[in-house]
Amino acid sequence: MPELPEVEAVCRKLRVQARGARIVRMRVERPGIVQPQSKTKIEREVADCVLEDVERRGKNILLRLSGGRVLRVHLRMTGNLYVIPNVRFRPSGTRVWWEMEGGRGLVFEDSRALGKVHLYSAGELEQALENVGVEPLSEEFTEAWFVTAARRSRKPAKLFLMDQQYVAGLGNIYAAEALFRARVHPERPVCGVSKPKLAALHSAIRSVLEEALASAELAYAEPGRFVEGESFARAVYGREAEPCVRCGGRIRRIAQGGRSTYFCAGCQR
DNA sequence: TCGATCCTGTAG
DNA sequence: CTACAGGATCGA
Q: State residue A140's pLDDT score.
A: 97
Whether residue A223 is predicted with pLDDT greater than 60 in this model: the reply is no
Q: State residue A226's pLDDT score.
A: 40
> Do A92 and A205 fall within a single domain?
no
Distance, in Å, from the CA atom of A19 to the CA atom of A33, rounded to the nearest integer, reads 23
> Do A114 and A17 fall within a single domain?
yes
Active site residues of A: 2-3, 59, 259
A195-215 mean pLDDT: 97
Per the prediction, chain A carries an average pLDDT of 94
Q: State residue A36's pLDDT score.
A: 95
* pLDDT category of residue A232 using cuts at 50, 70 and 90: confident
Q: State residue A122's pLDDT score.
A: 84
Query: If you measure CA to C1', which residue is closest to nucleotide B3?
Result: A258
From the CA of A102, how many Å to the C1' of C12? 52
The count of structural domains within chain A is 2
* pLDDT category of residue A221 using cuts at 50, 70 and 90: low
* DSSP β-bridge partners for residue A18: none
From the CA of A36, how many Å to the C1' of C9? 13
> Do A111 and A149 fall within a single domain?
no
Range of the domain at A227: 143-264
Residues A111-164: pLDDT tens digits? Answer: 999 999 999 998 899 999 999 999 999 999 999 999 999 999 999 999 999 999
Task: Tell me the backbone φ, ψ of residue A122, rounded to 5 degrees.
Answer: -50, -45
Last residue in a domain, options A93, A128, A163 = A128
Percent residues over pLDDT 70 in chain A: 96
Q: What angle do CA A55, A50, A54 make, to 5 degrees?
A: 10
Whether residue A225 is predicted with pLDDT greater than 90 in this model: the reply is no
What SS3 string covers chain A?
Answer: CCCHHHHHHHHHHHHHHHCCCEEEEEEECCHHHCCCCCHHHHHHHHCCCEEEEEEEECCEEEEEECCCCEEEEECCCCEEEEEECCCCCCCCCEEEEEEECCCCEEEEEECCCCCEEEEECHHHHHHHCCCCCECCCCCCCCHHHHHHHHHCCCCEHHHHHHCCCCECCCCHHHHHHHHHHCCCCCCCEHHHCCHHHHHHHHHHHHHHHHHHHHHHHHHCCCCCCCCCCCCCCCCCCCCCCCECCCCCCEEEEEEECCEEEEEECCCCC
Percent residues over pLDDT 90 in chain A: 93
Q: State residue A80's pLDDT score.
A: 97
| Phi-psi sector, A87: left (phi>0), alpha (psi -120 to 50), beta | alpha
> Do A108 and A9 fall within a single domain?
yes
> Do A123 and A224 fall within a single domain?
no
Which nucleotide across the nucleic acid strands is nearest to A5, CA versus C1'? C6
A231-255 mean pLDDT: 94
Whether residue A243 is predicted with pLDDT greater than 50 in this model: the reply is yes
> Do A124 and A177 fall within a single domain?
no
Distance, in Å, from the CA atom of A117 to the CA atom of A33, rounded to the nearest integer, reads 6
Domain CATH for A179: 1.10.8.50
Listed as ranges, the nucleotides of chain C within 7 A of a protein C-beta are 4-9
Query: If you measure CA to C1', which residue is closest to nucleotide B7?
Result: A112
> Do A259 and A179 fall within a single domain?
yes
Q: State residue A229's pLDDT score.
A: 43
Rg (CA), chain A: 20
Distance, in Å, from the CA atom of A32 to the CA atom of A108, rounded to the nearest integer, reads 13
* pLDDT category of residue A218 using cuts at 50, 70 and 90: confident
* pLDDT category of residue A219 using cuts at 50, 70 and 90: confident
Whether residue A170 is predicted with pLDDT greater than 70 in this model: the reply is yes
Distance, in Å, from the CA atom of A29 to the CA atom of A94, rounded to the nearest integer, reads 8
Cβ–Cβ < 8 Å for A206, A40 = no
CB < 7 A contacts with chain B (nucleic strand): A 32, 92-93, 111-114, 154-155, 257-258
From the CA of A4, how many Å to the C1' of B12? 30
Task: Tell me the backbone φ, ψ of residue A80, rounded to 5 degrees.
Answer: -150, 150
Residues A55-76: pLDDT tens digits? Answer: 999 999 999 999 999 999 999 9
Listed as ranges, the nucleotides of chain B within 7 A of a protein C-beta are 1-9
Q: Is residue A134 part of a domain?
A: no
Q: State residue A65's pLDDT score.
A: 98
A188-206 mean pLDDT: 97
